[in-house]
Amino acid sequence: MRSAALALSLLTACGAQGGDDPWAPFSPTLQDRVIGLVRQDAPPADPTNAYAERPDAAALGQFLYFDPRLSAGYLRADAQAKDVSCATCHAGDLGLADGLALAVGQAEVTRNAPTVLNTAFNRWFFWDGRADSHWSQALGPLENPLEHGVSREEVVAFVRDDAELAAAYTSVFGQSPAAEPDPDRVFVNVGKSIAAYERLLVTGDAPLDTFARAMAAGDTEAMSAALSPEAREGLALFVGEARCHLCHAGPNLTDLEFHNVGLSVEDDGLKDRRDGLAVVLSDPFNGAGAYSDDPAFGARKLANLKVFETDDPDGEHLDGQFKTPNLRAVSLTAPYMHDGRFETLAEVLEHYNELPPQSLDGHREETLLPLNLSAAELAALEAFLAEGLAAELPAVRLLTAPDEPTL
Ligand code: HEC
Ligand code: HEC
């Protein structure tokens, strides 16, 4: 009895020593990488949307986001058509996603619905980056026959003919939708108001932020309190041996760019980065176009892409590339990847650990090598993703349908 107790106390002492020194897994280089992950308070400005910071535009946008009438189910005399709103696939109680592998609107879509949380930090939108702003992104699902399934003419007529919406629109945009000579302008303004709302859907602190700030301040006690020993070990792997930080870097754990992570995508005619690039450059609603509130800003952003194109006129190296997802609050938004192929974070990690020999579509990044991590190391990485990135969510009033389109 006594020796068992002694053994136990020795064990705890050793465990405590290894587990309780939160600095142990972090070399100075890894410390710098961890501190670089601290979240930013506010998303970057979007000068292409003059209404982006307007609370009245956000109130209208939030109403439209949750309004199932903006869909074929309501606007078309078709018994088969369904009522769909943005919240059908980006729901307030499902991490602003839908919990499905492939999203379902009027019918099943060919892509996994990513979260809308923190998308105001994006540079490009959609898995293939085919939109360059929040507002132009929002126009896509409305006209997609598999999603809302309506036309822009139907959207514009609905906003114009609904007294409550027309009044809210007029007070935000200074002109009644009926008096607007260009109907596309009304359609775009629907997108700009939804974008103003989406800018508010940012997460607050995650344990990672508390930990990283404590590390920057040299506060050992606060570091220990912020993350469990297992999650700390996972974080050290994330920015170290597992090389996740090569793509999942910075305050949103994404480089905001596109990569081929060797998912063995058959060339199924679906859009990847090569298609997305062509679409965004020719989109009449891109940031350089007539509907942008700062075309010079939008043109500068797109110009970088053109340089990229000249290097590789056919864009072959873009095959099989998709956008690096933001990982904040990632445990809320299973299944994972552009096609929702992995049901759990453990399956995602299994993929990075083993990596199939070569992807069928395009070439996997050469920086990606099988990790050959042990089961305990994989569990530590998973603990970091689930525990360390469990971020504070936006206020409930932002995650539910409002009663009115006005403040
Ligand atoms: C039927 C389901 C469905 C509906 C309805 C829907 N979405 Fe999505 N959303 C998706 C899918 C799937 C994607 C990814 C598509 C792709 O990349 O090709 C996506 C992508 C996005 C993105 C890009 C996220 C990123 O990180 O690039 C945003 C933002 C978004 N949707 C907002 C909206 C808004 C706003 C609405 C309403 C106007 C809406 N969605 C309606 C399924 C849906
Ligand atoms: C070469 C760049 C790169 C590296 C390195 C990388 N990732 Fe990714 N990650 C991506 C891209 C790109 C995607 C989306 C791929 C797709 O859907 O086709 C992704 C997807 C994910 C997802 C799914 C998120 C979601 O919302 O669907 C998780 C989780 C993830 N990565 C974690 C990690 C971890 C953990 C590591 C280190 C073991 C890692 N990644 C290494 C680029 C990378």
Determine the residue of 96, 108, 116, 118 to mutate for testing ligand 1's pocket, defined as the one with the most ligand atoms within 8 A of the Cβ atom: 116
User: Which residues have CB under 8 Å from 370's CB, separation 6+?
Assistant: 353, 354, 355
Ligand nearest to the CA of 353: 2
Q: Residue 71 CA: which ligand 1 atom is closest?
A: 5
Determine the residue of 90, 104, 338, 339 to mutate for testing ligand 1's pocket, defined as the one with the most ligand atoms within 8 A of the Cβ atom: 90
d(CA 99, CA 365): 28
Whether residue 48 contacts residue 135, with contact meaning beta carbons closer than 8 Å, is answered with: yes
**Confidence (pLDDT) at 19:** 55
Residue ranges around ligand 2 (CB below 6 Å)? 242-244, 246-248, 259, 261, 263, 322, 324-325, 327, 330, 333, 336-338, 345, 348-349, 352, 365, 367-368, 381
Q: Which residues of the chain have pLDDT under 50?
A: 1-18
306-313 long-range contacts (CB < 8 A, ≥24 apart) are 306/281, 308/277, 309/277
d(CA 377, CA 397): 39
**119 in contact with ligand 1, CB cutoff 6 A:** yes
Ligand nearest to the CA of 258: 2
Cα-based torsion angle of the residue sequence 264, 266, 267, 270 in order, rounded to the nearest 10 degrees: -90
**71 in contact with ligand 1, CB cutoff 6 A:** no
**Confidence (pLDDT) at 12:** 41
Q: Which two tokens stand for residue 232?
A: 């700390």
Nearest to 114 by CA among 322, 384, 390, 319: 322
CA of residue 141 to ligand 1 center, whole Å: 6
* 287-312 pLDDT per residue, tens: 999 999 999 999 999 998 865 666 77
Query: Scanning the structure block, which residue is given the tokens 């793509």?
Result: 247
d(CA 237, CA 283): 41
Query: Scanning the structure block, which residue is given the tokens 């006005």?
Result: 406
CA of residue 113 to ligand 1 center, whole Å: 6
Whether residue 142 contacts residue 70, with contact meaning beta carbons closer than 8 Å, is answered with: yes
CA of residue 97 to ligand 1 center, whole Å: 9
**Confidence (pLDDT) at 314:** 77
d(CA 358, CA 365): 10
**159 in contact with ligand 1, CB cutoff 6 A:** no
Whether residue 151 contacts residue 164, with contact meaning beta carbons closer than 8 Å, is answered with: no
